[in-house]
Amino acid sequence: MSDAPQDKVTVLSAEGLAQLKSFPLHGDERLQNKLLWKSPNGDTIVGLIQMAPGARDAGHNHPSATQHTWVIDGTVSIGGVEATAGSYAFVPPGVDHETIAGDEPVTMFYVYQPFAPEHDH
């Protein structure tokens, strides 16, 4: 959907969303990422991350980007703080954070927004 027209409203149904391809995050099959939207210049990314039970996204940081995350389903630890369905987490630039799924699958919606023309992904 990242190639959606920029001059009109785009709605993706639940069925359409389910059909979007996902790719392993950091090469880990237990962490799946669906890219929903990317700004034309690539400075903002929006997507869904799905984590298998017990999956772990190793500690890392984004030196020049913020990350906003909404937990849709499941329970996850983000930066050592538990977040359940309906929770929101904000990760400021440069803050180390590890994400660990609980005993059930986790789905999270995220917005990744760098502050500089050259940024990490």
The pLDDT value given to residue 47? 95
pLDDT tens for residues 50-77?
999 999 998 777 777 888 999 999 999 9
Backbone angles phi and psi of 80, in degrees to 5 = 85, 5
Contact 49, 108 (CB under 8 A): yes
Contact 57, 30 (CB under 8 A): no
| 3-class SS string, 95-107 | CCEEEEECCCCEE
The pLDDT value given to residue 119? 47
Domains annotated for the chain, with CATH where assigned, are 21-114 (2.60.120.10)
Task: Give pTM, 2 decimals.
Answer: 0.83
The CA distance from 59 to 43, in Å, is 22
Stretches in the chain below the pLDDT threshold 50:
119, 121
The pLDDT value given to residue 107? 97
Contact 105, 73 (CB under 8 A): yes
